[in-house]
Amino acid sequence: METAAVTERFTVAVDADIADLAQDFLRNRASVPKRAAAAAAAHDLALLQRIGHELKGTAGSYGFRELSTIGATLETAATAGNLASAADAIAQMGDYLARVSVIPR
């Protein structure tokens, strides 16, 4: 469940027994917006599609539903060759990853 915090940051509650992995997952995704932006600049739609696809699946499995939706949007935009929509999704991804943190439940 994702809840807006008083500050710009927000938290996502995940099962305590996977909370460490969820933090690793977010940390490992920190460079993804930059990689996606580079792929968009290079018109590498296949790479963009793959980035979106992986994000959709893995973020969703961890319980980051909004991030999963962003991944799905990026995948759809890349499949359709819609770079403007892809750029929006990449921006949302960067914003999300910059503000999210995990709390164990």
Partner 1 sequence: MKPETPKKTRLLLVVDDDRDHLALVERWLSLEGFEVTGAESGETALAVLEAQRPDLVLTDLVMSGIDGIRLLREIHRHDPVMPVIIMSGQAGIPDAVKATHLGASAFLTKPIQREALIAEVGQALAAHSGAEVGGVDGFAPKLVHRSQLMAELLGRARLVSAVDTTVLITGETGTGKELLAEAIHAGSPRAEAPFVAINCSALPEELLESELFGHEKGAFTGAVNRHEGLFQAADGGTLFLDEIGDMPLALQAKLLRVLQDFKVRPVGSTRAIPVDVRIISATHHNLEQLVEQGDFREDLFYRLSVVPMHMPSLRERREDIPLLVDYFLRKVAQRTVRRPKRFAPDALRHLIGADLPGNVRQLQNLIEQCSVLSPSDIIPVALTAQALREKPAQIPSLDEAKQAFERRYLIGVLRAAEGNITIAARLAGRNRTEFYKLLGRHNLDPTRFRQRGSSKERREDDTPPDALRQESA
CA distance 36 to 105: 32
Which of 9, 61, 81, 98 binds partner 1 (CB under 8 A)? It is: 61
Which range in 22-30, 35-43, 82-90, 94-102 contacts partner 1 by CB under 8 A?
A: 22-30
User: Interface with partner 1 includes 39 (CB under 8 A)?
Assistant: no
User: Interface with partner 1 includes 28 (CB under 8 A)?
Assistant: yes
Listed in sequence order, the DSSP H helices in 1-105 are 19-28, 32-41, 45-62, 65-80, 83-99
CA distance 54 to 40: 16
User: Can you give the binding site for partner 1, defined by CB under 8 A?
Assistant: 15, 17-18, 21, 24-25, 28, 53-54, 56-62, 68
